[in-house]
Each structure stands twice: as structure tokens, then as C-alpha cells.
Amino acid sequence: MALLSFLGAIQQVTGSCYLIESRDGARVLLDCGLRQGRREEEQGNYEPFAFDPLSLDAVVISHAHLDHTGLLPKLAAGGYRGPIFATDATCELMELMLLDAAHIQENDAEWENKWRARQGKAPIKPLYTTRDAEQALKLRRPLVYGQPHEVAKGVQITFHDAGHILGSAIVEIEVQDHHLKRHLVFSGDLGNDCSPLMRDPSFLSKADVVLLESTYGDRDHRCSSDTIEELADILQKAHREGGNVLIPSFAVGRTQDLIYYLGRFYQEGRLPQQAVFLDSPMAIRANAIYSRFHEQFAPEDRAILAAKGVKRVEDWLPILRCTPTPEDSMAINRIKSGAIIIAGSGMCTGGRIVHHFKHNLWRSECHLVFPGFQAAGTLGRSIVDGATSVKVLHQRIAVKAQIHTLGGFSAHAGQSQLLDWVGHFDHHPELYLVHGELEKMQALQQALREKLNWIANIPEPGEQIAL
């Protein structure tokens, strides 16, 4: 019989990974994500895979974020040479993200080994290298939405728009099980239908088994218009108080949303700041990919941009300044007021945002805006949870800046949107909740039972079920 193994993003948000095995012996991996957050979770990235990479026939990727793709270079380092299927836009974004991730792995290992050498300890190896990432990228096979494709003997996939980031997909999988076809649907990360630029997630109705993400399974996001007005008020307040505004943001997805909204404020004459800095080489390159695939934007947003004669989101915000080099980034530190600084990483676990913390986080006139989810164990989560001081670049820094969280900017569906999406399936297929912290899953499980009379399962790590 066909089997499904739950290997990652089980009772936690990151590390998405599921293995499908058909009766005919086909083995297909669905996502191959990096675990992020607490140190013990990140340590799991170094453990051997729960399967032999050489035994896989294909890998299928839902979208480009590292918690869904970040272990692909490790898979390639382990000898995997089969195809990696993703949408066309995801294939391009993966190049950005995996090469950047490999660079970080190498740099972190080099930095750590300097400290270890002084203490007489043996050096460590990076999780993977740039060469491993390049090997994984050679295996990409782009597919378009709505096009069925056999990825292994008796296993056919079709991608549908998930509305989460550019290229994100709901993955529909048909597995031939002798004379029966078993029908699995993986939601991937479902988009928030209030998000700009992206289309709403596609609805499906047929499945035997559904895997449903539950990142925000316990609540709905604020109304999008309220969140936009809250951001506008924060920017006005920061302008009056004479401080900078820091926005830690994921380079792919959230940054493009922010540029769109700031551009709207600018076009409406409601942006008091003199400069917006995009201090993220990856986000700058991601903007170029978004521009190339602008035909995948929601029609209404394409029309708004076209009315101003622009196709590129960044042209909608003329005061945007991109700072690709370290020298450009360091020059921002001389600016004490009137700037909006967008930089990675989105959860403040590294990247240029931590350098801007060093110069701004301790200043009460500055504002720090979190536009998205902060995983447990990250620096961003510590600040959101009220830490009065944090360790940044080996220094203890006071948290005096004014902290704001804008849940309405989430690129994930809230509880009502999850219920609406899964409610389109006929006859209540077997339902498993994935990609969420346990308490969020339990809240969604309860809502499904109360509102849809549907019993959802919360799998255990490593659990295996028959399809």
C-alpha cells in the first residue's frame, strides 16, 4: 500500500518534510526544509535524514522559503541526483535563497572555528557549502500551475496557486496504488487573502487525504485596512519623535508587500519619511524576479501599478534606496532620524538587521515594526515577548525602541481562512494538521470540530500512515 511519513514541520512551524512511498516502490519527497528557531531544533538539521537520499525518485517543493527548501543542498551533498520539481518562479527564487543560505553556513562555520581554535577545540564543518547548493540547483525542473506531471512511476503532481509568495503552490498528488488512485493534497503555506500582489489561494474539492498548514490556526489576522492604517500612524509618530523605523523582513514575499504599501502611502502623500532603505542584497534580487513574473500578480494590483505606468513594485516608491554592498549598509548608520530601514533576517536571527539594532534598538525615539511571525527561540520572538535587553553581535543592548507587531501583514491564512479553504473539500477527507506549533494546531483542531464537525489528526514526528 502507499505510505506517507511525517518527517518535518510536525507540531512545529519549520522544517517541512514528508515522504510518499507507492506500492510500486516510487519514493517522492515533499519539501526538504530547514529547521529554524531554538538551538535544539536547529541542531536537528545536522542529524542524518530519516531516509537514504539515493533511494528517492523525485523531490517536490511547495515554495522557495528556507523552511521548505533549506536542506536541499544537504540532500545533494548526500548523493541525491534526481529531479527537484517546483513552479517556474519558485525555481528562480530558490537560487537566491539556497546560495545565500550556503554562504551563511560557510561564514558561520568560519566564525565559529576562529573561536574554537583559540580554545583548542576541533573545527566544525558547515551544514553544507556553496558547491552543494549549486549541485542542488542543477536538479531543478520548473512546472507551471495547473499542469499535471508524472514525477515518478505512478506518482503525478499538479501545482495550484497558494497565494503565499510568488510561485507558492498547493500540491495535488495522485498516487497509483494498484488499481486505485489515492489522492493527497498538501496545502503548502496558504496565503492571506488580504495580501497585496498575490492572487487568492486556489480552492480544491477532491482528496482522500489533506495536509493543512496551521501556522495561525488559533486566530484571525486583523483587517488588512486597519493594519495599513496602523503602519501609517507608526510612521507619522516616528517622524514626529525624530527616530528611525526598523522593519525586519523576509527578503521574499514580505518585503515586496511592504514596498507596495509604502509606495501607496507615497502616492497618496502620506509618507513623511525622506528615505526608505532596502538593506538586503537578497531582497533586491528578489524584486527583480518579482518584476519578471509580474503577470502572476493579482489582476487588481497589476492594474493599480499600470495606472501609474510602472510594472516594477520598486518604481511605485521613488524614495526607495537599495543598499547592496556592506559599505552602503554601514553608511545608513550615520542617519539618526527620518529613515525607514527594511532588512533581513525576518526573525532577526542574523543578517543586516542586527547591525541596525546596534545603532537604534536602545533609542526610545526609534520604532521597531515586526510585520510577521517570529518563531520560538529567535531574537525577534524574544523582543516581541518583552525582553528588556538582548544580546546582539556579542553585546548586550537595551531594548528601548517602541515595539509594534502587525499581524495583518502575515502572508499566512488566519483561522477563518484555513477553515474556509479546507471546507471546500467534499466528504471530509482524512485531515492532518502540519506546520504549526502544537497549541495552534489544537486550537484549529477544536475549531474544525465545532464549526465543520470534522475530526482532524495531529501527527507525531516520524509517524507513518497508509494512504
425-436 b/e (C-beta count within 10 Å ≥ 16 → b): beebbbbbbbbb
Does residue 223 surpass a pLDDT of 80? Answer: no
Query: Considering Cα of 39, then 48, then 15, then 69, what sign does the dihedral take?
Result: positive
Q: What pLDDT is stored for residue 193 in this prediction?
A: 82
| pLDDT single digits (tens) 193-215 | 888 899 999 999 999 999 999 99
Same domain, 283 and 367: yes
| pLDDT single digits (tens) 384-440 | 999 999 999 889 999 999 999 987 788 899 999 999 999 999 999 999 999 999 999
Same domain, 271 and 362: yes
Structural domains in the chain (count): 2
Same domain, 181 and 231: no
Contact by Cβ (8 Å): 361, 392: yes
Mean predicted confidence (pLDDT) in 158-173: 97
Same domain, 35 and 133: yes
Which one, of 401, 304, 414, lies nearest residue 356 by Cα? 401
Mean predicted confidence (pLDDT) in 279-304: 93
Which CATH number goes with the domain that contains 308? 3.40.50.10890
Same domain, 136 and 263: no
Mean pLDDT, the chain, integer: 94
**The pTM is what?**
0.91
Q: Which structural domain range is residue 64 located in? A: 3-219+411-466
For 349, list phi and psi in degrees, rounded to 5: -85, 0
Does residue 311 surpass a pLDDT of 80? Answer: no
Counting residues of the chain whose pLDDT is more than 90, the rounded percentage is: 82
Same domain, 136 and 167: yes
Tell me the one-letter amino acid at 364: S
> Going by C-beta distance under 8 Å and a sequence separation of 6 or more, which residues neighbour residue 344?
248, 249, 250, 251, 280, 282, 283, 350, 351, 352, 353
- 296 forms beta bridges with none
In angstroms, the CA 177 to CA 281 distance is 46
The Cα angle at residue 58 between residues 54 and 63, in degrees rounded to 5: 125
Same domain, 137 and 249: no
In angstroms, the CA 216 to CA 435 distance is 10
In angstroms, the CA 42 to CA 467 distance is 30
Same domain, 425 and 442: yes
pLDDT category at 447 given cuts 50, 70, 90 is very high
> Going by C-beta distance under 8 Å and a sequence separation of 6 or more, which residues neighbour residue 2?
20, 21, 22, 23, 175, 177, 182, 466, 467
Helix (H, G, I), strand (E, B) or coil at 150: strand
The CB-side HSE value for 121 (13 A sphere, CA atoms) comes to: 10
Contact by Cβ (8 Å): 46, 74: no
- Of 392, 409, 426, at which residue does a domain stop? 409
In angstroms, the CA 232 to CA 228 distance is 6
- Of 366, 390, 409, at which residue does a domain stop? 409
Helix (H, G, I), strand (E, B) or coil at 356: helix
The CB-side HSE value for 134 (13 A sphere, CA atoms) comes to: 4
DSSP secondary-structure letter at 157?
E
- Of 365, 386, 409, at which residue does a domain stop? 409
Does residue 152 surpass a pLDDT of 90? Answer: yes
The CB-side HSE value for 218 (13 A sphere, CA atoms) comes to: 10
Same domain, 316 and 185: no
Same domain, 232 and 366: yes
| pLDDT single digits (tens) 240-289 | 999 999 999 988 988 999 999 999 999 999 999 999 999 999 999 999 99
Does residue 39 surpass a pLDDT of 80? Answer: no
pLDDT category at 451 given cuts 50, 70, 90 is very high
Same domain, 373 and 439: no
Which CATH number goes with the domain that contains 21? 3.60.15.10
Same domain, 295 and 390: yes
Does residue 32 surpass a pLDDT of 90? Answer: yes
pLDDT category at 178 given cuts 50, 70, 90 is confident
